[in-house]
């Protein structure tokens, strides 16, 4: 049995199919960890969801910002685009959306020594806080009518976590940190606007660092798997593992085998034209 983690797919079904063939993935005995952003922009988002739903007992998924946007589109909070519309038009649309909104924001395995969230884990959160707060927003998304809550989540968010803030402000921060985070200041204050590489001079000038390099970051013993950051690309420093290698942008889709002492990566060139 092998355990593989795959970065942001974003509707690139042909690349996913090619990558799974290359790693000889067998859903009857292997497990896939998927770092979120399954859909949007790629032209086969529906095919991605249908395939993953068909092997749902063999995968562990965390939700990304594009997945949340899809759910919001389904509930009429945001407008669809041409790559999302086929999902809304599909006869099993409700089944797929209900399955998606019951996926977590955080998964972990102590035996593998890995924990996964789409954008990473807030530098202000220890392991217990991350688990607690992920569960808090999962319950909101999984409620009978998540539309009012989702609508509030797309309003401006705070950039520092405050346990004494209102539940709404706290939840907006939690959701944003798990799904949209890249850079932060030394005190852990998040910046949700910068999207470039950490080495860009304009970002360094602003005093921003990758969230995982924050001097005040609370340590977490498990290695953190994340995606979301295509301009960072594959990154492994012994503590964090980024698997978003920009398939959608004509680069690669990356799988990393987790059940080994050191990460073992396999890549395919994106098939998107």
The predicted model gives 228-252 an average pLDDT of 95
User: CA-CA distance, 65 to 129, in Å (whole number)?
Assistant: 21
Give the domain extent around 219.
3-269
> Distance from CA of residue 111 to its chain's centroid?
22
Query: What does the mean pLDDT of the chain come to?
Result: 94
Q: Exposed, middle or buried, 202 (CB in 10 Å: 0-12/13-18/19+)?
A: exposed
Radius of gyration (C-alpha) of the chain in whole angstroms: 18
Confidence (pTM): 0.95
**Residue 198: predicted pLDDT:** 84
The strand pairing partners of 257, in sequence order, are 4, 264
Q: Exposed, middle or buried, 92 (CB in 10 Å: 0-12/13-18/19+)?
A: middle
User: CA-CA distance, 195 to 249, in Å (whole number)?
Assistant: 14
Instruction: Judge whether residue 178 has pLDDT over 70.
Output: yes
CATH number, position 192: 3.60.21.10
The count of domains in the chain is 1
Instruction: Judge whether residue 273 has pLDDT over 50.
Output: no
CA atoms within 13 A on the CB side of 119: 26
């Amino acid at each position: 049995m092998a355990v593989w983690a795959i970065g942001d797919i974003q509707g690139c079904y042909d690349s996913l199919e090619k990558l799974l063939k290359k790693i000889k993935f067998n859903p009857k005995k292997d497990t896939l960890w998927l770092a979120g952003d399954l859909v949007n922009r790629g032209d086969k988002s529906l095919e991605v969801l249908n395939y993953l739903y068909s092997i749902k007992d063999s995968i562990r998924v965390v939700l990304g910002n594009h997945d949340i946007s899809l759910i919001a589109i389904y509930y009429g909070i945001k407008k669809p685009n041409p790559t999302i519309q086929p999902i809304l038009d599909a006869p099993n649309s409700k089944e797929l959306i209900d399955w998606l909104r019951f996926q977590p924001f955080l998964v972990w395995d102590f035996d593998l020594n890995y924990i996964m969230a789409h954008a990473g884990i807030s530098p202000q959160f220890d392991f217990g806080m991350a688990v607690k707060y992920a569960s808090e927003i999962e319950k909101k998304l999984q409620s009978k009518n998540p539309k009012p809550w989702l609508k509030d989540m797309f309003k401006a968010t705070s950039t520092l976590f405050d346990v004494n803030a209102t539940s709404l402000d706290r939840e907006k921060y939690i959701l944003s940190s798990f799904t949209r985070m890249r850079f932060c200041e030394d005190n852990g204050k998040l910046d949700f606007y910068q999207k470039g590489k950490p080495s860009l001079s304009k970002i360094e000038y602003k005093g921003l660092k990758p969230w995982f390099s924050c001097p005040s970051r609370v340590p977490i013993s498990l290695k953190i798997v994340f995606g979301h950051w295509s301009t960072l690309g594959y990154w492994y420093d012994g503590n964090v593992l980024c698997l978003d290698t920009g398939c959608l942008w004509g680069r690669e889709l990356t799988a990393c085998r987790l059940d080994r002492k050191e990460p073992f990566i396999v890549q395919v060139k994106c098939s998107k034209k």
